[in-house]
Every structure is written in structure tokens, then in C-alpha cells.
């Protein structure tokens, strides 16, 4: 098994005159959580959508566990899953029905057992027969995370997964994902605007600005390396004065 679950090389995406992703290269290793950070419009969602095969890159290469998604899309995506607040599950299906439908789509073996495990893991047993549309946004997020774990993905893409969770639930979810990543065989690409969360969760971060990776490193040491006290200070500098950092 190769160590990298995701390898991105020279990825670019143009929308007309807008260069949303500009020659981006990085990898995510097994048992690693990588934070993809950057201000609004930096290119994070565009990058994630290219990894998911939803958007076609203008150029560059994406490999999931060594499989090029341009030529082995289905095989690569079988190993992948995703959760984001902007991609809720169908609201007219119950929690159980949603997990069943997605489980069937992913060809999950022993699906009923897998669903029971996930309902317990994400504290969703009491909601199993409720329609997803009536759940609170935090409860819906937990269902999305359970759905994202159905196929035991080796690459998990989480786009602001705790954005609508209360602090206690958000902490539990972070700990759960850290634990699953540490003892599983996969890696996680995690976007967040919450720098406290990023420090708590990510082994490594990539700062994107105007579609380019400006900085990469350990979120606990990177701020000092660039003369900043906190990750938030560094983030604000990247957002406001990316050129100052490029000159560092």
C-alpha cells in the first residue's frame, strides 16, 4: 500500500479569466489530517470539487491511493467520501433511509450492521426514523459525517465539518475523527475557518491564497516561524498581505 492517500500535482482550474487554483501540488499521507486553509475565495472548494471528480481540472493530476482520477474515476472514488454543510442529505428521507441509500450506492457489505455501528458512533440512534429535513443543522451534520464513513474511506474530505455544531459536539466530532484517522488506514483533508480547531485537529496545514499554496507546515509551530503569535494572526496576514509572506 502506498503511503500517500492523495497526491496532487500542478493542479490548475480556470473559470474564464479567473484562475481559482494555480499550480497546486500537495499530498495527504495515511493516518494524517491535513488542513486546507485560506480566506474566502482562495480556491479550497474548487480544489475539493476537483478531487471529488465534480469539476474537471484545467490541467494537472490527481491520484487517490495511486489511482489517477482522470482514468480510474470510479475506482478512485470508491475509496473516497465527503461531508460539507452545503451538501445536505435528501431531507425527505429518514436518517436510516439515507444511510441505506448511500450504503447501497457505495456497495457497503453487511450494510445493516454498518449503519447500526455508525448510528451509535455518531449518537444518532434516537433519530433513525426521523426525516433528515426536520433535524437541527448540528444533527444533520452528524448524519452527513456518518454517511461519509459508510464505505470506510481511505480519503475523507471534510469541508468545514463542524461549522454548525455546538462547542461540545464539535469537540466530540474532532476527537472521533482524530481517533478514526489514527487507527484506520486513511487520511483526511479538512477545511476550516476555525484556527483553534485546526490546531487541535490537523497534523499539517496548507495555506492557500489566490489559488496558490503560500505556506505549509505544522499548525503549532508555523506561526512562530513567520513571526506571528497565533495561527489566527498568521491566517489574517495570509488573507491581507500574501505578498509580504511570499517575500519572507
Q: Which residues bind ligand ATP (CB under 6 A)?
A: 15, 18, 20, 38, 40-46
Nearer to ligand ATP, 15 or 196 (CB): 15
Total residues found in the chain within this entry: 248
Sign (positive/negative) of CA torsion 21, 27, 28, 33? negative
Cβ-count burial 2-17 (b if 16+ within 10 Å, e if not): eebbbbbeebbbeeee
Nearer to ligand ATP, 101 or 236 (CB): 236
CB of 140 to ligand ATP, least distance (A): 19
> What's the distance, CA 41 to chain centroid?
17
Residue pair 6/64 in contact by the 8 Å Cβ criterion: yes
Strand order, beta sheet including 18-29 = 18-29, 4-15, 59-64, 67-68
Distance CA 33, CA 133 (A): 30
> What's the distance, CA 107 to chain centroid?
22
Packing angle of the helix pair 137-149, 167-183 (nearest 10 deg): 10
Nearer to ligand ATP, 25 or 92 (CB): 25
Nearer to ligand ATP, 159 or 199 (CB): 159
- Whose cell is 509551530? That residue is 221
> What's the distance, CA 73 to chain centroid?
18
CA-to-CA separations, 210 to 91, 117, 246, in angstroms, rounded? 35, 41, 12
Nearer to ligand ATP, 28 or 119 (CB): 28
CB of 48 to ligand ATP, least distance (A): 8
Nearer to ligand ATP, 42 or 135 (CB): 42
Residue pair 24/8 in contact by the 8 Å Cβ criterion: yes
Specify the 3-state DSSP secondary structure of 29. strand
Nearer to ligand ATP, 46 or 80 (CB): 46
CB of 23 to ligand ATP, least distance (A): 15
Amino acid at each position: 500500500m502506498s503511503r500517500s492517500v492523495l497526491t496532487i500535482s500542478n493542479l490548475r482550474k480556470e473559470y474564464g479569466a479567473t484562475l481559482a487554483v494555480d499550480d497546486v501540488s500537495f499530498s495527504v499521507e495515511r493516518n494524517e489530517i491535513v488542513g486546507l486553509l485560506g480566506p474566502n475565495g482562495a480556491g479550497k472548494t474548487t480544489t475539493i470539487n476537483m478531487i471529488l471528480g465534480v469539476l474537471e481540472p484545467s490541467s494537472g493530476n490527481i491520484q487517490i491511493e495511486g489511482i489517477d482520477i482522470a482514468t480510474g474515476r470510479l475506482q478512485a472514488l470508491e475509496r473516497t467520501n465527503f461531508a460539507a454543510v452545503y451538501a445536505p442529505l435528501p431531507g425527505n428521507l429518514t436518517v436510516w433511509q439515507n444511510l441505506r441509500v448511500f450504503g447501497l450506492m457505495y456497495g457497503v457489505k453487511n450494510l445493516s450492521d454498518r449503519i447500526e455501528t455508525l448510528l451509535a458512533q455518531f449518537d444518532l440512534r434516537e433519530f433513525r426514523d426521523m426525516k433528515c429535513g426536520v433535524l437541527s443543522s448540528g444533527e444533520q451534520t452528524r448524519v452527513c459525517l456518518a454517511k461519509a464513513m459508510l464505505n470506510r474511506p481511505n480519503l475523507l474530505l471534510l469541508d468545514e465539518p463542524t461549522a454548525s455544531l455546538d462547542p461540545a459536539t464539535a469537540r466530540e466530532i474532532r476527537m472521533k475523527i482524530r481517533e478514526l484517522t489514527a487507527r484506520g488506514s486513511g487520511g483526511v483533508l479538512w477545511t476550516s475557518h476555525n484556527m483553534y480547531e485546526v490546531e487541535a485537529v490537523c497534523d499539517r496545514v496548507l495555506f492557500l491564497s489566490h489559488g496558490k499554496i503560500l505556506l505549509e507546515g505544522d499548525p503549532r509551530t508555523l506561526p512562530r516561524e513567520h513571526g506571528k503569535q497565533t495561527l489566527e494572526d498568521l491566517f489574517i496576514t495570509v488573507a491581507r498581505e500574501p505578498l509580504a509572506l511570499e517575500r519572507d
